[in-house]
Amino acid sequence: MSIVNQLMAAVLAVLIGLAAGTVYLMSDSSKTMLIHQLESHGQDTATHLGLYLAPYIAARDTAVIETTVNAIFDSGFYQQVRVVDADNALLFMKTTDAHVSNKVPNWFIHLIDITPPEMTREITHQWQKAGTIYVQSRAGYAYEQLWRGTEQTFIWCVVLSLLSLFFISLLMRYILNPLKGVEDQALALSQQKYIEQARIPSTRELKQVVLAMNMMVRRVRTMFNEQAKNIEEIRRTAYQDDLTGLTNQRASLTQLSERIDYRNDFGLGSLIHLQIADLQQLNAELGVEKANNFIRACAIQLQKIARLTETPVLGRISGSEFILLSHITDPDQLTRELNKLTDNLQGEYRQLSGKPPHQIIFIGAVAYKEQGNSEQLLVSAKLAAEQASTANTTLCCKGIGNPEQQSSWHEHVSQKIINGDIFLQFQSVAQLSETPETLHREVYARILNQDNQPCMAGEFISVVKQLNLMTALDISVLHSVTEQLKYSPDIKFAINLSNDSVKNIDFCERLIGVTTQLPTPNNLSIEINETSVLNNIDQVTLFRDQLKQAGARFGVDNFGINPAGFSYLYTVHPDYIKIDGSLIRELDSSAEDRFFVRSLVTVAHSLDIAVYAEHVERTTQLEALQQLEVDGYQGWLIDKSAQT
C-alpha cells in the first residue's frame, strides 16, 4: 500500500472514531434530555388530571375518572395512568404496551435502554387528601426521537467525513507528490534510465529526499557511462585498428572465419583484398602523417562499398592490406564500385602529394560460393591482388558472376519462398549448469535445392535478400512456429528476424497479433541481429515494448562486435543477448577475449539481461564460460547439427 493510501487509511480511522464518538455523545445527551422531557410531560399530565379529577376521586366516581383518563390516553403519549384513593385502593388504571415505531430498528432498542419514570401527584379536596395519580409517558416516543436524531447525526458525519477525506487526499497527494517522483526515479534507475526531478518541494524533509535522489541518479549515470567507456576502450584496444577505426587483423580474420566456416549464412558474395603497393615508398613520398591520411582514405572508400551489404566483414589485416566480404556478385557492379574507389584514391594521392598518381594500390576480388573455407578464400583474394600487381593493373577479379546459373537459382529460390515451401531445423540453447536444461530451440529455415537436397541458409539467403523476399521468408517461419506452439505449447522456440522484417510495420503488427493469441506466448522468443537493432533503434524499442505486453521474449543476436558499441542496451533492454561466436572461438586461449566477454556479462547482468554464448564447441570453452558466469550456450557441443 502506498504511503498516501496508508495516511488516508489512518485519517479515515480517525474520522470514523470522531463520528462514532460524536454519535455516542449526541445519543447520550439526547437520551438524558428526552428522559427529562418525559418526566416533565408525565408530571404536567398528573397535575392537570389531579386538578380536574379531585372532586370525582373524593366521590369515588369511577365512571368520570375512566372517561377522563381514556380521553387523555388516546393521544398515544402515555404508557400507564393509575388512579388510587386516599387509602391507596385502585380506582382505575389504564395501561398499554411500550410500542415503538417500525422505523426504529430492534438493535437500537436493545442497545439503548429508556425506561420513562412514573410521575406522582397527590390529590386533595376540601383540604383533605383524596387520592394519588401516577402517570408514566410512553418510551416509544423517546426511542423515535432519539433514533431520528442519531440517524441524522450519523448521515451528516459520514457526508462531512467523506468530503474531508476527499480534500485531505488531494492535499496529501499534492504535498507527497515528490515521493511519487522518487519512486519513478528508482524504477527507472533499475532499468538504467536516468530521471531527475525538476520540481524541488518546499517541505524540508521532502526537499532533502529529492535532492539526495537527484544526486544519486547523476552519480549512477556517471558510473555507468564510465563503465561503458572503459569497455569500449577495451574493445578498441583488443579488436580495433587505431589508425582507421576498422577491425584489426585478429578480429577481421576471426569474423571472416565465423561467417564462412561456422555460421555459413553469408550466402553468395565476393571477398575484396586491397593492398597498398609499397607502404615504405608511400611514407617516403608523402611523409608519415600524409601516408596515414591516405590509409584512412582507403578505409573510408571501402566502408562506402561495405554499406551496400547488410552485415559485411571489413577490416585491416596488416599495415598495407584490407579485406571486405561483400554481397556484391554482379561483375559489372563490382567493377564499377572498385573503379570508383580507385579513382577516388588516386585523387586523394594527387591532393596529398601534388604529383600525378602512379600505381598506388592493387585490388583482388574473388567470388565466394559456399565452397572451401575462409583461409582458402583469403589466399585466393591475395593471389588475385598479386596477379594485378604482376600485370601492373589495379584490379583483378576471379570467378565473379555466372548470369545463367544465377538466373536459374534465383528463380528456384523465389518459387520456394513465395510458395512457402520451406522446412525448419532447430538448435538448442542450453542452460549453463551441471544439469543443462533447454532454454529454447533456435529456428533455422531451410529449402530444397534443384536436386531436392536440403541446402544451408548460406546457399540461398543472399538470393532471398537480393529478391527482397526476407519478410516473406519470415512470415513462413512465423506461421510454422506458431502452428507448432498451438499444438505443443510446452516447447520454446526462438525466431531470428531479418532487418527487412524489423522495418516492416505491417509484419511487426502481424507478429504481435499472432503472439497474443498463443496459449503460451512466453515460449516464443524473437531475436534481432545487433546491426539491425542499431540501424532501427526507435522501431526496435517500440517493437520490444509491444512484445513485452504480448508476453513474448526478446533477444539480441551476434552481440558485441558492432563498432557502434552496446549503450543501446539501456534503451532496448532485451531479455537476453547472444554473444557473437567470433568472441567465443578463442575464449579458452585468449585472455583478451575472456576479459572483454567478462565485461559484457557484467554490464548485461547489471541490467538483469541474461547472457548466452554462440558456437561453443569445446569443453574448455564451456569451462571458461562457467567462470565468466554466462547463463546459457549453444553450439556443436550440445547439437552437432541442427535437428529437425
Statement: the pTM of the whole predicted model exceeds 0.85 = no
The fold adopted by the segment(s) 3-173 is Translation Initiation Factor IF3 (3.30.110)
Q: Residue 435: how many CB atoms within 10 A of its CB?
A: 6
- Could you give the percent of the chain with pLDDT greater than 70? 93
Report angle CA 601, 604, 606 to the nearest 5 degrees: 105
Q: What pLDDT score does 372 carry?
A: 67
Tens digit of pLDDT for each residue in 33-87? 777 777 787 788 888 888 888 888 888 888 888 888 888 877 767 778 888 888 8
SS3 assignment, position 529: strand
Q: Residue 291: how many CB atoms within 10 A of its CB?
A: 20
Report angle CA 548, 609, 518 to the nearest 5 degrees: 30
Q: Cα(516)–Cα(547) distance, rounded to whole angstroms?
A: 9
Q: Cα(449)–Cα(584) distance, rounded to whole angstroms?
A: 32
**68 grid coordinates:** 377522563
289 phi and psi, to 5 degrees? Answer: -65, -45
**502 grid coordinates:** 524489423
Classify residue 618 by its DSSP letter. Answer: S
Structural domain spans, the chain: 3-173, 178-239, 249-401, 405-633
Please state whether beta strands 438-448 and 454-455 pair in parallel, antiparallel, or not at all (unpaired).
antiparallel
> By the 8 A CB rule, do 75 and 96 touch?
no
- Surface-to-core class of residue 109, CB atoms within 10 Å of its CB (0-12 exposed, 13-18 middle, 19+ buried): middle
Q: What pLDDT score does 264 carry?
A: 74
Q: What pLDDT score does 45 carry?
A: 82
**Is 644's pLDDT higher than 50?**
no
Please state whether beta strands 576-579 and 524-529 pair in parallel, antiparallel, or not at all (unpaired).
unpaired
Q: Residue 484: how many CB atoms within 10 A of its CB?
A: 14
575 phi and psi, to 5 degrees? Answer: -75, -30
**Is 391's pLDDT higher than 80?**
yes
| Level-2 CATH architecture, domain 249-401 | 2-Layer Sandwich (3.30)
**Is 199's pLDDT higher than 80?**
no
**Is 493's pLDDT higher than 90?**
yes
In the predicted model, what is the mean pLDDT of the chain? 84
Amino acid, single-letter form, for residue 266 = F
Question: Which comes out higher in pLDDT, residue 227 or 388?
Answer: 388
Classify residue 56 by its DSSP letter. Answer: H
197 phi and psi, to 5 degrees? Answer: -80, 125
> By the 8 A CB rule, do 583 and 593 touch?
yes
**Is 99's pLDDT higher than 70?**
no
Q: What pLDDT score does 634 carry?
A: 92
**96 grid coordinates:** 398499554
Q: What pLDDT score does 49 carry?
A: 82
Strand ranges for 74-232 from DSSP E? 78-85, 90-95, 118-125, 128-137
Mean pLDDT (whole number) for 264-282: 87
**Is 98's pLDDT higher than 90?**
no
Classify residue 292 by its DSSP letter. Answer: H
Q: What pLDDT score does 430 carry?
A: 92
Q: 641 falls in which pLDDT band (50, 70, 90)?
A: very low
Q: 223 falls in which pLDDT band (50, 70, 90)?
A: confident
Q: What pLDDT score does 642 carry?
A: 47
* Residues forming beta bridges with residue 497, ordered by sequence position: 528
Classify residue 259 by its DSSP letter. Answer: I
Q: 318 falls in which pLDDT band (50, 70, 90)?
A: very high
The fold adopted by the segment(s) 405-633 is TIM Barrel (3.20.20)
Handedness of CA 532, 536, 541, 546 (dihedral sign): negative
Q: Cα(120)–Cα(116) distance, rounded to whole angstroms?
A: 13
